[in-house]
Amino acid sequence: MFNPKLKRVLIGVGGGIAAYKVCEVVSTLFKNGVEVRTILTNSAQKFVTPLTFATLSRYPAYTDENFWQPNYSRPLHIELGEWADIFVIAPLTANTLAKLAYGMADNLLTNTVLASTCPVLLAPAMNTDMWEQQAVQHNWQSLLINNRFHGIPTASGLLACDRVGAGRMAEPTEILAYIQSLLHTAGRLDLAGKRVLISGGGTREHFDPVRFIGNPSTGKMGLALAQAALHRGARVTLVHGPANWDVPLGMEAFSVVSAQQMHQAMLRHLPDADVIVMSAAVADVKPQEYNSEKLPKRSLPEALALEPVPDIVTELAERKQPHQLLIGFAAQTGDIVTPALEKLYRKQLDAIVANPVDQVDSGFGSDNNQAVLLDKQGRRIEIPPCSKLQLAHYLFDFVTA
């Protein structure tokens, strides 16, 4: 995963039913070549056993019983704190949150936090009324002021106490994405204070309620860009076409269908943006006529009359202010660089991502991608096949350098 120098993740498990979700996190990290160590609080062991995490991580899980035994050449919390590249605490309970906020250390987990200097990712989980308590929110906000701490907001839904509301811990996929980002950035928040506007996914140009002109884009690249920007501290607005994934917690998202709808949404949010990434696969044409009722097969036209849709990226470039950065995408087959360079200068972009859609496990619908990054200063960087989240980070590294 990402930075080969950063591959050691320490996971502290708090006492809550959401502890079962952390099993998937540990298992997935191990399968991806990440070294994982785990610490369980006494309360966590009421829900998941140390043996479970030891089995998944292929390494003994630590508890307070280990903390108080003099079986180590150096204090255990010092060893673990210095070992970790990333520290994850999930589920983060109200009790542990309060201890961290006030610098208290009365068990192995909290002592190790104080004995470490690496980024700490927090994934809280608790009952809605507990989460919304003024004291809990004060502790949460006071921790996040420290750039060392990175927080995943709680989700809303049905909780284990049968309450419906906020306080649900983020899903493993979202926690894993954040861990992957931290393994790349080492906690760097170089987009803090920036507003990033991203388009993603394909558009659909209907000629009746069930038929449309479209493309295979799933919006996974736009999603990855939004995640990467969010994890680097940005305030993110994502405008996306039809998608079958959930919008990550902590960002603003708008779902659209047609190119015209995407055009309107992007122009509406353009004035507030510092960085605009146009990764959506927007249709080039649309049917001239729309039928409000499904056409019978026998009534389908032999030739479909088409007309152009708005050129969104060109209009964004025309309206862009000097402080704004506009990045485009060029999905190509064959020679990907020549047409991307032509698009870069013709549409007055600051940078462009040329990515092939005719390579195996790359481009539309894939979890992975590859690209050549180009900018108007003449820089060029080739990115070999990698995850789309990794490519997103390489792009932000490129444009913020």
CATH code for the domain of 389: 3.40.50.10300
The enclosing domain of 107 has a CATH number of 3.40.50.1950
Percent of the chain with pLDDT over 90: 88
- The catalytic residue among 23, 118, 161, 386 is 161
Give the E-state strand segments of 113-168 in sequence order.
120-124, 149-151, 155-158, 164-168
The residue range of the domain holding 135 is 8-185
**Above 60 in pLDDT, residue 14?**
yes
Q: Say whether both 351 and 233 belong to one domain.
A: yes
- Tokens encoding 318: 């025309």
Q: Say whether both 172 and 290 belong to one domain.
A: no
pLDDT for position 24: 98
SS3 311: coil
Q: Say whether both 271 and 216 belong to one domain.
A: yes
Q: Which string of b and e fits 169-185 if b means at least 16 CB within 10 Å?
A: bbbbebbbbbbbbbbbb
Tens digits of residue pLDDT in 34-86: 999 999 999 999 999 999 999 999 999 999 999 877 766 789 999 999 999 99
Tens digits of residue pLDDT in 208-220: 999 999 999 999 9
pLDDT for position 2: 47
pLDDT for position 336: 95
pLDDT for position 202: 95
Cα–Cα distance, 198 to 223 (Å, whole number): 9
**Above 90 in pLDDT, residue 401?**
no
Active site residue 118: no
Cα–Cα distance, 75 to 67 (Å, whole number): 8
Looking at residue 242, its amino acid is: P
- Tokens encoding 355: 């990515």
pLDDT for position 398: 97
Q: Say whether both 174 and 221 belong to one domain.
A: no
Q: Say whether both 178 and 310 belong to one domain.
A: no
Q: Say whether both 176 and 246 belong to one domain.
A: no
pLDDT for position 69: 77
Q: Say whether both 170 and 217 belong to one domain.
A: no
State which of 128, 158, 185 marks the end of a domain. Answer: 185
State which of 127, 155, 185 marks the end of a domain. Answer: 185
| Residue 1, in any domain of the structure | no
Mean pLDDT, range 257-276, rounded to an integer: 97
Number of domains forming the structure of the chain: 2
Q: Say whether both 206 and 74 belong to one domain.
A: no
Q: Which string of b and e fits 255-289 if b means at least 16 CB within 10 Å?
A: ebbbbbbbbbbbeebbeebbbbbbbbbbbeebbee
| pLDDT tier for residue 362 given thresholds of 50, 70 and 90 | confident
State which of 151, 185, 219 marks the end of a domain. Answer: 185
